[in-house]
Amino acid sequence: MKKKQLPLMIMTTLLLGIHSFATVEAAQVVGKSGTKPVVAKSSTAVSAKAPMKAVRGTIGKSTFKPLITKTAPKVTTSKTIRPNVTVTTAVKPKVTAQSSVKPKGTTVANAKPKVANTTAVKPKVTTSATTSRATAAVVTKNQVEQATTRVRVENTPDVRVLLGSRRQDASVSSANGVTILTSNNGKAGSHKVVSVGVRGNKIAVNGKALDSVVTLKPTSGDIFTFEGKAYRGSLTLRANHGAMMVINAVPLESYLYGVVPQEAIPSWPAAALEAQAVAARTYVLHTMEQNKNQLYDVSTSTDHQVYGGVSGETQSTTAAVNHTKGVVMLYNNRPINALFHSDGGGYTEDSVNVWGNDIPYLKGVKDFSNSNSSASNWTVSTSRSALEGKLNAASKGVGKLKSIQLTPLGYPGKATADRGVSGRIKSATFVGTAGKVTVSGDDLRGMLGLKSTLFDFYINQNPASSTGKAYHTFTGKNDTVYIKGHGWGHGLGMSQWGAAEMAKRAGTGDTNYYQTILRHYYSGITLKKMY
Query: Cβ distance 190 to 178 under 8 Å?
Result: yes
User: Measured between alpha carbons, how far is 450 from 457 in angstroms, rounded to an integer?
Assistant: 12
User: Measured between alpha carbons, how far is 473 from 408 in angstroms, rounded to an integer?
Assistant: 12
Q: Which of 229, 166, 220, 156 is nearest to 196 (CA)?
A: 166
Look at the chain and count its residues.
531
Sign of the alpha-carbon dihedral angle for 54, 60, 64, 65: positive
At 154, phi and psi to the nearest 5? Answer: -80, -45
User: Measured between alpha carbons, how far is 439 from 454 in angstroms, rounded to an integer?
Assistant: 15
The set of residues, in sequence order, having a beta carbon less than 8 Å from that of 465 and lying 6+ positions away, is: none
Determine which helix (DSSP H) or strand (DSSP E) holds 183, and give its type and residue range: none
The set of residues, in sequence order, having a beta carbon less than 8 Å from that of 422 and lying 6+ positions away, is: 344, 345, 346, 347, 348, 349, 353, 364, 412, 454, 491
For residue 373, what pLDDT is reported?
Answer: 82
User: Measured between alpha carbons, how far is 428 from 405 in angstroms, rounded to an integer?
Assistant: 6
- Walk along the chain (531 residues) and give the pLDDT tens digit of each residue: 433 333 333 333 333 343 333 333 333 333 333 333 333 333 333 333 334 333 333 323 333 233 333 333 333 333 333 333 333 333 333 434 444 455 655 554 444 444 333 333 333 333 333 333 332 222 233 433 333 222 333 446 899 999 999 999 999 999 999 999 998 888 888 899 999 999 989 999 999 999 999 999 999 999 999 999 999 999 999 999 999 999 999 999 999 999 999 999 999 999 999 999 999 999 999 999 999 999 999 999 888 999 999 989 999 999 999 999 999 999 999 999 999 999 999 999 999 999 899 999 999 999 999 888 888 999 999 999 999 999 999 999 999 999 999 999 998 989 999 999 999 999 999 999 999 999 999 999 999 999 999 999 999 999 988 777 899 999 988 899 999 999 999 999 999 999 999 999 999 889 999 999 999 999 999 999 988
Query: Cβ distance 526 to 32 under 8 Å?
Result: yes
Output the CA angle 51-300-173, nearest 5 degrees. 120
User: Measured between alpha carbons, how far is 493 from 514 in angstroms, rounded to an integer?
Assistant: 15
User: Measured between alpha carbons, how far is 267 from 458 in angstroms, rounded to an integer?
Assistant: 37
User: Measured between alpha carbons, how far is 124 from 411 in angstroms, rounded to an integer?
Assistant: 46
User: Measured between alpha carbons, how far is 461 from 6 in angstroms, rounded to an integer?
Assistant: 57
For residue 401, what pLDDT is reported?
Answer: 97
Alpha helices, DSSP H only, in 183-269? 252-263
The set of residues, in sequence order, having a beta carbon less than 8 Å from that of 354 and lying 6+ positions away, is: 41, 420, 424, 442, 490, 491, 492
For residue 477, what pLDDT is reported?
Answer: 84
User: Measured between alpha carbons, how far is 239 from 232 in angstroms, rounded to an integer?
Assistant: 22
CB-side exposure of 328: number of CA atoms within 13 Å?
32
For residue 34, what pLDDT is reported?
Answer: 37
At 81, phi and psi to the nearest 5? Answer: -75, 125
Q: Which of 348, 336, 297 is nearest to 162 (CA)?
A: 297
